[in-house]
Each structure stands twice: as C-alpha cells, then as structure tokens.
Structure 1
C-alpha cells in the first residue's frame, strides 16, 4: 500500500479463517434502512485519498472509497466471498484459461449510461498502458499479453481482453488461475466509463464530473477535509443497499479523532490511540479483527548503510518486536519474523507455521554483524541514518521506539522524520529514503499477493532490490497447478527474500475499531477497511 495496497482475501489474516470477518448482525442487515432514521454514517479516512482513479490508486484509504463507489465483474458478499457483480454470468473454458463474462443488462453508470464490455476492455488496457504508469498493472500479468504490453514489448491488441459485443467480455489467461475470481474483486480491475475519462483527464480529481458504477456516487469532496458519497440511484442492486449516505472525514491525529468518536462526531474509528486501547478493550463498542498484512520498514539497498547485507540484518535483529506489540500497538498484532502473515491454509497446514521464523532477535549478534559490515565497507563511522514514516501518532511512537532500540542495541543514533501520506508516497516512490515505514495488505489471502510486493519490476518495491531467482520462483508459482508444489515454490521465494532482507518486518496486522452501537450490519473484511453497504442505523 502504499499504503499501499493492501490489501487479501482473508489476507489480512483472517485470524485463521480464510473468509472476511462479519459482525454478528450481518445476516439480517440487508435491505433498505428504517424509514424514520436517517441512514447516514460518518467514518474517518484519516487522510486525503491520494487517488480515486481505480487505475492509479495504490493505498487502502483510496481503496476504501473506491470499494463503495465502483464495482467490478465480481464483488464480495457479506461473508467476504467473491460473487458476480457487474457481470450476470461467466462461462469458463474446459482448459480454464478463457473466461467469458456477460455484463448485466441493468448495470449502469451513475450518469445513467449503460456499463458495457467495452468499458472494461478500455480500463484494463488503460491500466496496462505504459503511459498510465499504474503501480498495480502487474496484477494483470496473469492475462495473455498483459505483461508484454505493459513493458512496451507488445501491443494492446494482443492483450487477452476483448469486448465481443456491448455485453460480452472475453478474458484469456496465460494459465489457469484458481483465485481469479478473488483477484477481480480488487479495485484495479474496476471499470471506468470510457467517454468520461477521455473527455476529462482530471475526471477523478473532484466530485463534480465523477462517474462510478457501484453502490455509491460522490456528492462532495472537500480536499483534506471530507468526502461524501450517497446511494447511487442507478445501481442495479440498490434495493439491497441499506446505508444511504457515507461521509469520510480526514482527521489524522489519533487523539482528535478518538475524541470526535466519543462526542458522536464520528460513528466508527480504526487504529485507536495506543494509550487508550487497554481501557477500551472492555467496551462493547471495541472490536479487534484479523488483518492479512505486514507492517515493515523498507531498506533502500542503494543508500548507505543499507547497501551492506550484514548491516541490514543487524538492524533487523536489534528490534524488540514483542515490546512494540505489547507496549505500543496493544491490539492483538503478532511480532513478524518473516513476510507472509499467518492465515493461509495449505495442505500441510498454515503457510507461516510451515515456513517458520527467519529473524532472530539478538542484540549481541546484531552488534557483531554491524561491525563486520562496517569493516567490509571500510567505514570507521556508520553513515547517518534517517527513519521515515507517514504522519500518524502510532507510526511516530513505533519509529521512536525503534530509534531507541537501535541506539541501545547497536550504539547507533538515527534520526526520524515524517511526511503527510500523499507526499510520503511520492517520496518513497522516488526512492528518496534510507529506511521507510510501509504496510502491505493482501488483496486476498494467499502468499502470492504478499510476496509480489518485492518482485524486481513491481512499482511497489521501492528498495531497489532485484533478485532474478526470486522473480523466477514467483513466476513458476503462478503457473504451477499442483497446490503442494505451488506452495513449495512460494516458500523458496520467501527464503530468498528473507536471506537478502531488503526490509525489516515488524508485526502482522490486526485492526481495532470502535463502532457506535447505533449501527448494525457493518462488515469488517480481513483485507479492507469496513464495508458499510449493508449497515443500518437503528434507534
């Protein structure tokens, strides 16, 4: 994510279940809202969404809004399962490589125009167009000709996405993909209305002129203040959408938004201030859910001192992860000694348990590695190090804790610096950092979507680390049809990554919330922020 995405299924860990979590009221929450209670909810996005263009969004903040305003060929039901969305039917060829989708006759854009197969073809090829520079284009590489086109080695016409007519979309894969339906629930695969995008290159920058095909449409966007969405009257399934209006505030200070919740200015908040978690755990409004992702610090291997492998490992070994999860986050997070989170069920058991831990916290050994690394580089003094994080009280506390741990265990003084989210994404994308905080959430629960982050050509990989063996193992895993062999290849890939260590894993996510008791039917996915399409406000 960038905050980046995020983001899978059950990714976010499903805390041992591979389906997204739901509240106990989900089963009875669908349907229209109570006629005498305004069906409106106020959430907190915490920051300005960097982009509300499905082709360009890479973070969970933007994705949260896009998941409510757009809909792909598949959507998710209240249990987190992929179900047909903008498509009414799908036929799969015998070799499982060709998917033929039928677009719903009643699928419409918020401006009243019909959603067409051409809209999907246009948008998917727009994502792949090198000129678009979509950071998530690599998710399309399962499609025939997609990678070649995106890398400037092929043509758009050769991409296996064809609108056979207004309502029929044919998609051809390189190889069978068992989780293709889950992948298509990701916002990067949402359509856009071709005429709208071609008519205004800034169509996604303001509420005015913004056209979507999901349950909601944008009504107001006060930048750095709030986004307001209202139920889309043109949405084909509007009768099952109970919440009429969603407001996302943009309040980044944890203490401020916590007080706003306590004074009923916000109906739901996530990521509570760490110093109130303990007292809120007994509150019936408090909820902890699994989140399939990893909190980490990227290391720029082209920037000293992290050009040296031993120094990278020394920093990783000098951090006390249990102290961070116990004393700072306090919300059920699990210390991370590898990259792929728990929650992936394989024929041999949980993927993480089978893979084991790679990092051993050992200050003495860390200090020894640091000295060896400095000697290899000919350094009598370690180059200055700045640890960067995006502005957030909790991120600040973690950064400062790590700063103290590095000082205590390695005898190294490092600086910390912060930037607002959008600026931070730009800075790290330009690889203008040494050590930078990042979180990665799987788009669904599978090791592949986690490990994809560090592919050599992934725009999300901002560390400058490229390993041909790693890339080759990942490529093999994506076409391997034997599940046992596929997981073995993924274990081998993670092994390569963890030995080179271009990042420092800190903990596996969980998510904590406070939700007003006035609301029922909110869904808490394991790889997204809450889905309020079926929420209902009661008296």
Structure 2
C-alpha cells in the first residue's frame, strides 16, 4: 500500500508539474497561497481533545510532535533531535531541538509535552483518544482513577529532555506518536483562557503554520509560522480553509478558480472530473459504518444488528452511489495493514454475507424475543454532507426493499452531531473510522469498552482483554492473532454495521506542486507550492 501511494504521489507531482508550464512563464511569481475546502466548521482545534479527521487535517499543518512523517510517509524525528532507547525497550529519552519554537517565539520544551499528554489523560478533560496514550506506564490507571498523576510515566527532566517510560516495549511507538494526541500544547496558553482554541490571538502552534483568522462557519486562515525550525522547507505563505458544505457549490468554485483543492466531488460531475489530468483517486485506510446504540431498541438485540448488516447490497452502494473505487466491507479492519502472514484483511476474510431471507428470519426471531408486536421506529442520523445523504438514502431504500423495514433519516451539523453521539442520544448513526496510523489495533480499539471514543454502549470484557494483551505482546505473529480473535468477537456482537472501505478522490489545481498524499489521512500541504 505504501508503494502504491508513493507511486501516486510521484505521478501526481509529474502531472501537476507538466500542467503548470503556463504559470511558470508568467512575468510575476505566483502568490504562495492556497484555498482548500474543509466542508464545515471544525469540532475542535485542541490536539488533545479532537478525534475528527477533519480537525486533524488542519492541525497537521499547525503542530508537530516528537516524531512526524516525511514526504514519503516514513516516520522521522520531528521536534526531537535525538532519542535514546533503553536496552529493554521500556524507556525513551528525547532531546528537544534547541531551535524548536512556538509561534509566539518562546521555546518548545519537554514540559509542554509532559503537560499535554497528562492533560489528555485527565479523566475530567474527557479526551476520546486518551486510550492511545495507554502505552505509557500508569497512563490507563490514571485515566481510570486508579493511579495518581505523578505515577504516569512521562517526566520533563529539564527544558529540553523528556523521559518516557512505557508499560511494555512497543514496536509501533514511533508511528503512534505522530498522531495529534501526542502533540504538545503550551500550559500557560491553555490555562489562561478556556476558549484558547477559538481565538487566533490566543492560539499558539509549533508547526509549519499558525492560525491567523477564524471566521466561524465560514473560513479558517493559516499563515506561515516564521518561528518554525524548518520554515525554509515551507513555500506557502497562506492556506485558507473554506467551509463549503454543498459539494456542487464547492465543485463550481473549483472550476472558477475560487478553490484550489476539493476532496468531495458531486456524483453528477464525477465522470467529467475523472477525465481531468489533475484528478487523483486511491484506496484509503478507512472504514465507513453505521453505529448501533445497543442501549436503545431495536438495537439492544444482536439479531436485529446482524439482520441490518446482512440486509443491504454493498456492491450496489459502491458502484451506484460512491463510484470512486470503494470496496464492500464485511469486517472492521480495512485492507492495507501488512502482517507476517499477509494483509490483515485478506487473512481474516469476511465475517458475514448479505442474505435477505436470513435477515428477515432474524428480525422475526428478535421481535418474538422482545415481545414487539410491531417493529420499533428507527431513526438513522448522519452529519450534513451530500455524500452522507446519498448513502443514507440508499440504505433507507434497501432496508425497506429487502427487509420491509421503514427507517427515518435525520441530519445534524458536525459539532452537534458529535455531541449527540457522545451523549448516546441516537439509535443508528453514520461514522467513518480512519486509522490515525496503519495498524489493526487502531481500528479495533475504537470499540474498547473503556475508550471514550466508543459511542455504542457496547462493552465486552473478552474483547478488551485481547486488545490489552495485544498491546504488550512482543511476538508479532502472536500479536496479530490476538487482534484477529478480537475482531471475531466484535463481528459476532456487531455494535456497528460496516458497509464499505473508503477510497479518496481529489481535484487539485494544476498550478500546485508538492502535495503529499498519505493513505490514512488527508493530504499535507507543508511542502506544496505554486
């Protein structure tokens, strides 16, 4: 998969470079600013809090951790200039770069990392990705009220030295530490004003860009961070993220040059877009699904959940609704995670088949078990977007046709939607889970019973124990076997319904060179230029 993306990056750069001759012959150099479409308002720009891929796209340009990704998608040192590792693999000692600065000109210190990670683990903060920090000694114990803050295994020895002690040797630690949860935040800024993330005048960053303006529900403006240690690698002076939720409007704005980049193309324009030399499409490490709230009827019954999963035509969905290379999903973990035995998904295979008659039998059995004379009303909700709307309407039609079940549809703006899911005030809800790094554990830990990211109400102790064992298992083959066992439990209980593995497609202005496309997160513009 990595090789595929590298080829796509190279091909995209060659195409875009070939198309940019006209601008290259202009008497004046092009302005180094880009206008992208974020679609909607971010739910949060707090790296310790957010779980949204959309929010992460913005923050990838604003912050940098001890490790980062290079232009080939390889993990490299970021804010850390050196790391020493103990022979038992339990202790990492990081040396922070002397030239690492915040956008306000102050030094980035080891204390900023210690504070950020312990803050994300604070149960009062409620960070949904806190579980990714559980590799740190006593991190889970503190997050669950069983240990003190002082017992958490991260300590700033001085301003430029950070000591990290792990629960167990963690071979994937470097990959894990590239995600937003491991970014630093500045204590003085966070504690001075609870609304620090909403006001650009209060918001400080340590990455390639800084936040300059935020016109809420309209646009975000990022400008080059002159304090960034690698500022000479950054050509862009400004990135503007527009919030155009309607795909047709965004496409028209791209066509007229008002947007330089879009990632959602309206269905009626897709074939035309595919003919453009700047069109790019490739599979991504993501799973689209519908969450079931198992605390509410009818999804308190596993047979109903399985019937819904068996009752839709995924092939028709990807061929007639998506049309951008998605593949039907009959499991949680997407293709792309390599193991000693081969691709994790290929080894694990599918966990169920579409069978409408069997699904009808399961519905009848569930109704008898629960004493329902009529099938309970069901509302499927999704966050506002044309793509979500089309898929949800297709699911609604299929469940009616195949199972004779009527469901209602509802939609909410992204921030409100996340709040609704967090309160578990729903029955069935659309969600996509993207691996913040490529490893099956990332996908499966989404449903940890103790994880604040699990919004289904489903808890299975055997499942949780398998994932915890996998977290510390040093034998790679045994580790993946534990993860396969965990996925089997998940796919038997089905607190969710997978329906396709995602594919991404983009249109980028032919003037732009140097966009980096990863297969587990949105494109990065750190090295882009016109």
Given the two structures, how large is their TM-score scaled by the length of structure 1?
Answer: 0.94
**1:106-505 to 2 correspondence within 5 Å?**
106-505=99-498
Name the structure 1 match of 2:70: 77
Checking the alignment, whether the CA contact within 8 Å between 2:126 and 2:452 is kept in structure 1 is no
Equivalent in 498, 518, 521 of residue 514 of structure 2: 521
1:26, distance to aligned residue in structure 2 (A):
5.8
Distance, in Å, in 1 between the alignment partners of 2:313 and 2:6 is 31
Instruction: Spell out, residue by residue over 1:23-45, the C-alpha distance to the aligned partner (whole angstroms, 9 max, x if none).
Output: 4466999xxx9982211111011
Distance, in Å, in 2 between the alignment partners of 1:118 and 1:90 is 16
Distance, in Å, in 2 between the alignment partners of 1:45 and 1:20 is 26
Distance, in Å, in 2 between the alignment partners of 1:45 and 1:107 is 28
Checking the alignment, whether the CA contact within 8 Å between 2:12 and 2:280 is kept in structure 1 is no
1:113, distance to aligned residue in structure 2 (A):
0.3
Checking the alignment, whether the CA contact within 8 Å between 2:293 and 2:300 is kept in structure 1 is yes
Given the two structures, how large is their TM-score scaled by the length of structure 2?
Answer: 0.96
**1:90-105 to 2 correspondence within 5 Å?**
90-105=83-98
Instruction: Spell out, residue by residue over 1:89-113, the C-alpha distance to the aligned partner (whole angstroms, 9 max, x if none).
Output: 0011101111100000000000000
Distance, in Å, in 2 between the alignment partners of 1:20 and 1:61 is 25
Checking the alignment, whether the CA contact within 8 Å between 2:515 and 2:527 is kept in structure 1 is yes
Checking the alignment, whether the CA contact within 8 Å between 2:91 and 2:166 is kept in structure 1 is yes
Instruction: Spell out, residue by residue over 1:309-354, the C-alpha distance to the aligned partner (whole angstroms, 9 max, x if none).
Output: 1111111101111111000110000100111000111111111011
What's the C-alpha RMSD, in Å, of the aligned pairs? 1.7
1:22 lines up with 2:9 in the alignment: yes
| Larger RCO (CA within 8 A; separation ≥ 6) | 1
May I ask how many residue pairs the two structures share in their alignment? 521
Checking the alignment, whether the CA contact within 8 Å between 2:5 and 2:517 is kept in structure 1 is no
Distance, in Å, in 2 between the alignment partners of 1:110 and 1:21 is 33
Unaligned runs of 5+ in 1: 1-13
Cα distance change, pair 115–172 in 1 and its aligned pair in 2 (3 A): same
1:258, distance to aligned residue in structure 2 (A):
0.8
Distance, in Å, in 2 between the alignment partners of 1:498 and 1:340 is 11
Cα distance change, pair 349–16 in 1 and its aligned pair in 2 (3 A): farther
1:380, distance to aligned residue in structure 2 (A):
1.7
Distance, in Å, in 1 between the alignment partners of 2:154 and 2:409 is 46
Checking the alignment, whether the CA contact within 8 Å between 1:19 and 1:526 is kept in structure 2 is no
Larger displacement relative to structure 2 (244-253 or 35-44): 35-44
Distance, in Å, in 1 between the alignment partners of 2:152 and 2:51 is 23
Checking the alignment, whether the CA contact within 8 Å between 1:74 and 1:83 is kept in structure 2 is yes
Cα distance change, pair 511–18 in 1 and its aligned pair in 2 (3 A): closer
Distance, in Å, in 1 between the alignment partners of 2:290 and 2:393 is 13
The secondary structure found in structure 1 opposite 2:135 is coil
Distance, in Å, in 2 between the alignment partners of 1:400 and 1:15 is 34
Distance, in Å, in 2 between the alignment partners of 1:137 and 1:502 is 21
